[in-house]
């Protein structure tokens, strides 16, 4: 059994009939892993389960793909399911509940939730970051490609959640933030680890607070 197969074996697989999603997903406990909460998502629709055709979706600070690929529509509907079930997923991740209790707590997306309609005029914008400067208390001043004005985002609540972001509660480490490749993320290098937040997530965090 491969490492991927073993990892999925330890997780709870959920079919579309149970979740309202168009694909199979897996939810599991951390088993001591150092990364923050994530789930695994089949990249193909239906009930097929292929351990070599998966995307990994991290929950915080908001759902985003950290490995593999999902279409914008698939990530959107997976994000809606996560929003319905985030507390149950995190409790299971932290070992507070077992698989049976997880199944009892999970909620199914309402009918039609798996295929949201996108307005015909809507387009997907990929943002890039042109400048950053961390400030005390867990915040970032930054500018995006679409406007020159300096924006500010408060990440203190994200840092307080711990998990993958726990090391960044050290203000000296937080101050080492840098712009990642292609200006598509802010990242922190800590030994052989990299913690990052995508430009799109940061842009949405800035504009959601308005």
Question: In the prediction, which pLDDT does 111 show?
Answer: 64
DSSP category for residue 183: G
Kindly report the number of other CB atoms within 10 A of residue 156's CB atom.
11
204: which 2 tokens? 């949405």
Q: Which CATH superfamily is domain 129-208 in?
A: NE0471-like N-terminal domain (3.30.2020.10)
Q: CB neighbours (10 Å) of residue 142?
A: 22
pLDDT in tens, 114-164: 444 333 333 345 788 999 999 988 999 999 988 889 999 999 888 887 677
What pLDDT is stored for residue 115 in this prediction?
45
The pLDDT, as a whole number, for residue 1 is 38
**For residue 60, what pLDDT is reported?**
86
Q: Give the span between the Cα atoms of 45 and 41, in whole angstroms.
A: 10
Maximum separation of any 2 CA atoms in the chain, in Å: 53
Residues in the chain: 210
Alpha-carbon span 94 to 16, nearest angstrom: 25
- Tell me the sheet residues that pair with 39: 57
Residue 13 belongs to what H/E stretch? Answer: strand 12-14
Give me the residues of the chain with pLDDT under 50, please. Answer: 1-6, 8, 114-124
* Whether this model's pTM surpasses 0.85: no
| DSSP state at residue 43 | S
Q: Where are the domains of the chain?
A: 3-105, 129-208
Q: Is there a contact between 74 and 91 (Cβ–Cβ < 8 Å)?
A: no
């Amino acid at each position: 059994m491969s490492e991927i197969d073993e990892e999925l074996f330890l997780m709870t697989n959920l079919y579309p009939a149970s979740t309202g999603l168009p694909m199979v997903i897996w939810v599991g406990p951390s088993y001591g892993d150092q990364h923050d909460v994530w789930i695994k998502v089949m990249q193909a629709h239906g009930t097929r389960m292929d351990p070599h055709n998966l995307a990994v979706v991290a929950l915080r600070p908001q759902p985003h793909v950290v490995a593999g690929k999902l279409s914008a529509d698939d990530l959107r509907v997976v994000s809606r399911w996560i929003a319905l079930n985030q507390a149950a997923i995190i409790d299971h991740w932290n070992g507070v509940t077992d698989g049976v209790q997880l199944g009892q707590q999970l909620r199914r997306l309402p009918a039609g939730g798996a295929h949201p309609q996108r307005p015909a005029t809507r387009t997907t914008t990929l943002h890039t970051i042109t400048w950053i400067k961390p400030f005390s208390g867990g915040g970032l001043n930054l500018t995006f490609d679409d406007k020159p004005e300096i924006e500010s985002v408060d990440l203190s609540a994200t840092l307080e959640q711990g998990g993958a972001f726990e090391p960044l509660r050290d203000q000296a480490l937080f101050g080492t933030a840098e712009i990642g490749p292609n200006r598509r993320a802010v990242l922190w290098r800590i030994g052989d680890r990299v913690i990052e937040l995508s430009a799109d997530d940061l842009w949405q965090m800035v504009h959601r607070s308005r």
